[in-house]
A and B are shown apart, each in its own frame.
Chain A
Amino acid sequence: MAVLYALVPVALLLAGGGVLAFRWAVRSGQYDDVTTPGVRVLLDDIAPADAPSTPV
């Protein structure tokens, strides 16, 4: 069980890494809008071929 002395700090470091990733995600605005991405899943991608770019 002495291995725990090594494992627990490693686990905590991983957790710390997770928190840093979370912090980055929040600060880059990814949590500002949590409803629209769920809706975007329903939309089909527009293939480049049939995407005419016409002036307004």
Chain B
Amino acid sequence: MPMPAAATEIDAFPVRVSPERPAATGATVRPERPARPAPDAPCAHCGLPVGHAMIAGSAQTDGSNGDSDASGGQTDRWFCCTGCAVVYDALASAGLGEYHRLRALDPDAARPARTVRLSDAVAELDTARFLADETAPGPAGTRRVTLALDGVHCAACVWLVERLPHDVAGVREARLDLARGRVAITFAPAEVRLSDVARRLARFGYEARPLRRDASGARPAAERRLLVRMGAAWALAGNAMLLAFALYSGLDVAVDNGLADAGLAHGARLVSGVLATISMFVAGPEFFRRAWASVRHAVAARSIARLHMDTPIALGVLGGYAYSVWAALTGRGDVWFDSLLVLMAALLTARFLQLRARRLAGDASERLLALVPTMARRVGADGAVDVVEAALLAAGDCVEVRPGEVVPVDGIVASGASHLDRSVLTGESQPDEAAPGAHVEAGTTNLTHRIVVRVEACGEATRVGRLLAHVRDGRPSSAATVLLADRIAGVFVAGVIALAVLAAVLWAPHGADVAARVVVAVLVIACPCALGMATPLAFAVAAGRAARAGLFVKQEDAFERLAGADVVVFDKTGTLTEGRPSVVSVVGRSGLDDTAARDALRLAAALDRDSLHPVATALVAACADAAVSLDTAAPLDGASTDGLSIMDARIEAICDTPGAGRSGIVEGHRVVVGRPSWAMAQATAPDAALAAAAEALAADGLTPVLVVVDGEAVAAIGVGDALRADAAALVARLRREGRRPYLLSGDHPAVAARVGAALGIDADSIEGGASPEHKRATIARLAETGTVVMIGDGVNDAAAMQAAHVGVAVGGGAAASQVAADVFAVRPGLAPVVALFDGSRAVVQTVRRGLAVSLAYNLLGALAAVAGLVTPLVAAVAMPVSSLAVVALALSQRSFRAADRRRPRATAAGRP
């Protein structure tokens, strides 16, 4: 594409001022500002690096917060963002400086607590329905409610939240569950409204939301039951071990030789038997149930491969138990009760940890179900607006949607014209215009102006509602997943039985007693205790670490499939690209150097700084990233700048022309920003080269914007969806590993082809213009030949994700895709995806190592048993040792370690 010769394309914005620009005339005298700190100095509130776009705040220090200056008066504090500054102020004004003392105790937990703009969902908290359904009665007329609370991360947050009873009249108690992000509040409905409580929490940066129940009631109960069983199993095992200790220390000899203590020996054996019998009913069912089911399955299918790992466990336990009971009753032979009890307790522990790890992911996905707002503003016939529940709306009602809010219903625009962000449904980053008569859908965001929508469908009847319901109901049940360990279960059982028969045959000449003893020894020591623990433990540890890194894995087989993925399908918008309009290129007028073009960008951004139009936000974002500032008279030298930020620039006479652009006076310069044709008409001297450049940008799929300063056309800016910086690296890495990257996008085929080529994806693996149904069909087709992983972020990807073997939802995406996915990330970007692939490979390696170690132990043990070397004492020692080895392997796995680092390292160039 031919570009005007001297035009410069800029993609980095270091801080500099153009030497030929004169000082702004009529500038007011600004107060002496103290020197700014370096960009990697910590933010006074959250502790993260302040970056270049640092905000100044001043706090009246009273000495309680430490570092006041010598005079004890005003100190300037620096924050990384407005959010932190506001929260800091709120804390200071409420006299809650204690917060920072507590926060300092755990610096690694630092994460910014931004002020939260509460959606109207909080109004739902006051409705009678909510009070009746979601709250429980408490003592003396109070109600108890549990809310999801986002943004809590350390001791200081616990302190702050649990202070509610002291700070808010009417709240009796507040208990925060830090790990799960839930707060249990006991309050008196007559004295305080829940929405007010939520608003207070929002001032400090915690977003309170009603908990959407998604079968979450059943889970904790099952977990508790398993925990009780586990505790009982260990109590029984411990006591049996005490008795066995006595037997190993010499008491068992008394049995065989009829010595004086024979009575005690018998007693010890019998009591162990009683304990074991109790445990059979407490801990046993966990294994026997599944083992029996898998045996029936295998018999029906006539295939030994159908056996679950619980089958050899059940075999060993039952065989050992039966023989030991006979031995205890008759006084002949050995009892193996203690080894069996420890085995069952250890396996229950592994199961419990696995269940708890799964709960982490389940918790996180519950909070995402609030895709469509539950409250809506209904406009009555008389124009009065009241907030009602969206489900109560009827077709024909009118609802008002303000800029920045999510549309709650499907309908037609009755009045007002605005732009809508449809990315939730279509994945398109370009906003759509909505004029009266246009169709709008629930889940889209209204961007610029207030509109009134006539309702056509609401609740589950909306397109988004139907999609969500489809995702919820079409979810394949967690049917028996065939894990690595389970695949060898059949072979294992066969092997154990074969060895037992072998032992019986070898030892038969020595007598039935001896032979029976050896056979039982084989069964018990070959019992796959460690084998049964290897996978659940590895998964539990990995899932916990991944969760801390912001990656939630719902099922353990996701790790295996990711490690063995053949095809990795990417959505384009939001996954490979940033998903929101950003400045892609800046073309300056020929004859001007880079700096003047950058100045034009800054002026345009300053003019547009409070507009919600996506192009405007792109301009502002481009400047914030690069720490630009308007000029002063003094030339700069890079690091420190005394200039004003675009937020502080003096702006006058703003004039908006809908559909064309905006003009105004910025620091004395007349600036026009907008569509090239309209803006060029406002310039005194039209610049053909720039106009051509603008058209070139448009042909490239970008939105062109022209900036005219003081009558001269100065720059053409292309706004579009920028590729993520790490996308190309990820694609290259996948190819290196032998996987096939595939690009499946709903965007225009030409754009998809261009993006795919830029990333290095083969032309036959790129498809554009794909509807959600087509995406699903493509994935189903690919799935026939290999394991397919689908990575996406929009509601339109949800169906495709279910068709894939593993669905990965990247952060910042639509909630529906995160609910449908098997793995979802809460942090935006592709870095979590990279961490996911790395981590999966490490987990699979760990599982394989664990299986290898336990198989080796079982094999050696079984051979030793056949040779007659294994006594109950040997088994009692060997089994815990092997289990500990597997536990150590699981804990030392290298997965998700790097992603666990919470404090990002500040680089010299600014915030990462």
Contact = CB atoms under 8 A, between A and B. Distances in A.
B169 A39 contact: no
A54 B167 CA distance: 6
A40 B158 contact: yes
B519 interface: no
B102 interface: yes
B176 interface: yes
A8 B269 CA distance: 12
Given A15-B239, A23-B231, A42-B155, A53 B177 contact: no
Given A26-B227, A40-B158, A43-B158, A56 B200 contact: yes
B178 A43 contact: no
Contact of B158 (A18, A31, A39): A39
B232 interface: yes
B258 to A, nearest CB: 17
Given A42-B105, A55-B169, 13 more contacts: A8-B271, A15-B235, A22-B228, A22-B231, A23-B228, A27-B224, A31-B224, A33-B180, A39-B158, A53-B166, A54-B167, A56-B192, A56-B197
A4 B246 CA distance: 12
9 closest A-B pairs by beta carbon, nearest first, are A36-B178, A51-B166, A33-B177, A39-B155, A35-B179, A56-B196, A22-B231, A43-B159, A19-B235
A56 B168 contact: yes
Contacts of B102: 42-43
Contact of B228 (A26, A35, A51, A53): A26
A20 B220 CA distance: 19
Contact of A55 (B163, B168, B180, B227): B168
Interface in B177-196: 177-180, 192, 196
5 contacts: A8-B271, A15-B239, A31-B227, A54-B167, A56-B167
Interface string B500-523: 000000000000000000000000
B267 interface: yes
Nearest to B268: A8
Contacts of A44: 98
B414 interface: no
B224 A46 contact: no
Of the listed residues A1, A15, A29, A39, the one surrounded by the most CB atoms of chain B closer than 10 A to its CB is A39
B106 to A, nearest CB: 9
Nearest to B195: A56
B762 interface: no
Interface string B238-278: 11000100000000000000000100100100010001000
A49 to B, nearest CB: 11
Contacts of B227: 26, 31
Interface of B: 98, 102, 105, 154-155, 158-159, 162-163, 166-169, 175-180, 192, 196-197, 199-200, 220, 224, 227-228, 231-232, 235, 238-239, 243, 261, 264, 267, 271, 275
A36 B827 CA distance: 24
A36 B176 contact: yes
A11 B239 contact: yes
Nearest to A46: B166
A54 B238 CA distance: 54
Nearest to A43: B159
A39 B267 CA distance: 47
A19 B158 contact: no
Interface string A2-20: 0011001001100110110
A56 B199 CA distance: 9
A18 B176 CA distance: 28
A8 B267 contact: yes
A40 B177 CA distance: 11
Contacts of A43: 102, 155, 158-159, 162
Task: Categorize the interface residue count of chain A.
Answer: 20 to 34
Contacts of A19: 231-232, 235
Contacts of A36: 158, 175-179
Contacts of B232: 19, 22-23
Contacts of B162: 40, 43
Contacts of A11: 239
A19 B345 CA distance: 14
A56 B201 CA distance: 10
Contacts of B199: 56
Contacts of B175: 36
Nearest to A55: B169
A43 B155 CA distance: 8
Contacts of B200: 56
Nearest to B157: A39
Nearest to A41: B155
A32 B177 contact: yes
B631 to A, nearest CB: 45
A55 B167 CA distance: 7
Nearest to B246: A4
A22 B282 CA distance: 15
Contacts of A26: 224, 227-228, 231
A18 B235 CA distance: 9
A32 B239 CA distance: 27
Nearest to A23: B228
Contacts of B275: 12
A11 B246 CA distance: 15
Contacts of B271: 8, 12
Contacts of A33: 177-180
A4 B267 CA distance: 10
Nearest to A20: B232
Nearest to A40: B158
B827 to A, nearest CB: 21
Nearest to B197: A56
Contacts of A56: 167-169, 192, 196-197, 199-200
Contacts of B192: 55-56
A49 B83 CA distance: 33
A33 B105 CA distance: 21
Contacts of B264: 1, 4-5
A18 B228 CA distance: 12
A26 B180 CA distance: 17
Contacts of B224: 26-27, 29, 31-32
B235 A5 contact: no
Nearest to B243: A8
Contacts of A54: 167-169
A36 B181 CA distance: 10
A45 B243 CA distance: 47
A52 B155 contact: no
A1 B461 CA distance: 78
Nearest to B178: A36
Contacts of A31: 224, 227
Contact of A32 (B105, B220, B235): B220
Contacts of A51: 166
A51 B105 CA distance: 24
B737 to A, nearest CB: 37
Contacts of A22: 228, 231-232, 235
Contacts of A32: 177, 220, 224
A39 to B, nearest CB: 4
Contacts of A40: 158, 162
A20 B424 CA distance: 51
A35 B178 contact: yes
Contacts of B168: 53-56
